[in-house]
Structure 1
């Protein structure tokens, strides 16, 4: 029967002579300490680091909800090759190979990075965050501007996100899957797709979510922590209220076909990020980097110039 899992290692390839570094994959769960106003306890995130010159700030890519660092693997390799910079891709807590925790707040996700980035000697860095990862990046820049050289928020704003209000029903559908043990992987994925399709009708969204279905010891499990995501969904859709602003250069990179960032969000963007500029990638939806990868890379390089 289907279960959801804690953390599973999925190998990634290198980029030629420059070998990527891999974190150890933690298997034990670790609880956050975000209650009672205490600072959340950071978790040892799983990551891939592509080597590059030490003279320029590294780029750090943060994925969105139900994603993982693999979402940026080809982008990261291309950016590392084209810019010569170090490039880090990270699995957020409760995602990918990173450990699970009942705490899924943006404060906790920011704290994870505040712990990891100095350990790797990657501060100040250029943060590139998509969707949920973009909100994490924005909060980190607001809390610790000394760690962030510049910021790129991909198709997200520091406002409540309404366009993904279907995600609670998606998570419920994922939790209700019934996949027999020892089923061949191809049949298991087909069965999972059939069971999800009545609720998640868009095939691209289903295929994206099904990247989280993995086989471990003959059993099919979710590597995302569905319990924590479901419990904190309203918190993930929102953004923590902040009074301070981030003084560094900021780019809001939007998909031309996406409705995630509304004009009504612009005043809050300007208040929190006074040096913000906006750029739209034509013919791209919410997953800008997947829809128009070359335009996405070009926008990043233009912002760095």
Structure 2
């Protein structure tokens, strides 16, 4: 098994109120930065730690994107931060990391919150996105306008292009990708696979899905309940896969209410 990667994180700092921390795990090609607005709200009540997974954000690049390895990375970070138990929230790919962590180390998870992903194998669906990222990698744009034009060769959606552009960083007069694109593409079969672990997580669990998203369909719910038997499923109206961005208030309220009901 690959050695653990020392992950970067946004940490709101220790909380003296006695509340368990909330750990946030982003999705594919996302980062902790995507959650800053939510962190500002949640940190009023508890310590919040948002991680950058391997090959994402400011974390190092490394081979291997399987869920056991990424779960181990997060656990190593929690050990470093002195967090023995926490509420764990994961979106999309990060939701599978969170499920893996809960199944492999259930004692560390007070409650599990999964945003718009099911514990199933998905079909390939990111070819256009990877092609767009390659365009930027090879095109060496000097500003974000050039980068957007390169992304637009494969991605029509302005919103998706803006999301992908969060992975750009400036260096030596040009914009480069901060993600480990080669490692992510090589590890993609593991990313679309089910989460790690052989047993169910029988702790409290909330699954939030977007009404306009195809990621958690009704025919997936039997499998979901085999893995997460105590899961409560809530569907957010007028929300797609990025439901925390589409309906931030409803998302925030659902998370707050669930954690309040299951303080750990």
User: What TM-score bracket applies, with the shorter chain setting the length?
Assistant: over 0.9
Give the Cα–Cα distance (whole angstroms) in 2 for the partners of residues 100 and 180 of structure 1: 20
Give the Cα–Cα distance (whole angstroms) in 2 for the partners of residues 55 and 241 of structure 1: 31
Instruction: Between 239-248 and 282-291, report the one with greater CA deviation.
Output: 239-248
Runs (5+) with no aligned partner, structure 2 = none
Structure 1 segment 102-113 matched on structure 2, within 5 A: 102-113=63-74
Give the Cα–Cα distance (whole angstroms) in 2 for the partners of residues 298 and 240 of structure 1: 27
Residue 34 (structure 2) pairs with residue 71 (structure 1)? yes
CA contact (8 A) 1:54 1:86 kept: no
Of 149, 152, 161 in structure 2, the residue corresponding to residue 206 of structure 1 is 161
Runs (5+) with no aligned partner, structure 1 = 1-33, 35-39
Equivalent position of 2:183 in the other structure: 228
Residue 138 (structure 2) pairs with residue 175 (structure 1)? no
Give the Cα–Cα distance (whole angstroms) in 1 for the partners of residues 75 and 21 of structure 2: 15
Residue 259 (structure 2) pairs with residue 289 (structure 1)? no
- Secondary structure of the equivalent of 1:215? strand
Give the Cα–Cα distance (whole angstroms) in 1 for the partners of residues 200 and 18 of structure 2: 27
Residue 2 (structure 2) pairs with residue 43 (structure 1)? no
Structure 1 segment 1-305 matched on structure 2, within 5 A: 34=1, 40-51=2-13, 52-53=15-16, 55-81=18-44, 84-162=45-123, 165-177=124-136, 178-180=138-140, 183=142, 188-240=143-195, 242-305=197-260
CA contact (8 A) 2:23 2:48 kept: yes
CA contact (8 A) 2:209 2:236 kept: yes
Give the Cα–Cα distance (whole angstroms) in 2 for the partners of residues 73 and 295 of structure 1: 17
Instruction: Return the offset for 1:57.
Output: 1.2
- Secondary structure of the equivalent of 1:160? coil
Equivalent position of 1:21 in the other structure: none
- Secondary structure of the equivalent of 1:176? helix
Give the RMSD, CA atoms, in angstroms: 1.5
- Secondary structure of the equivalent of 1:45? coil
Mark the CA change 1:110 to 1:180 in structure 2 (over 3 Å): closer, same or farther: closer
Instruction: Return the offset for 1:180.
Output: 4.7
Instruction: Return the offset for 1:75.
Output: 0.1
Mark the CA change 1:91 to 1:275 in structure 2 (over 3 Å): closer, same or farther: same
TM-score between the two structures when normalised by the length of structure 2: 0.93
Give the Cα–Cα distance (whole angstroms) in 2 for the partners of residues 244 and 281 of structure 1: 28
- Secondary structure of the equivalent of 2:212? coil
- Secondary structure of the equivalent of 2:222? helix
Which of the pair has more CA radius of gyration? 1
Structure 1 moving runs of 4+ over 6 Å: none
CA contact (8 A) 1:93 1:99 kept: yes
Equivalent position of 1:28 in the other structure: none
TM-score between the two structures when normalised by the length of structure 1: 0.81
Give the Cα–Cα distance (whole angstroms) in 1 for the partners of residues 178 and 115 of structure 2: 24
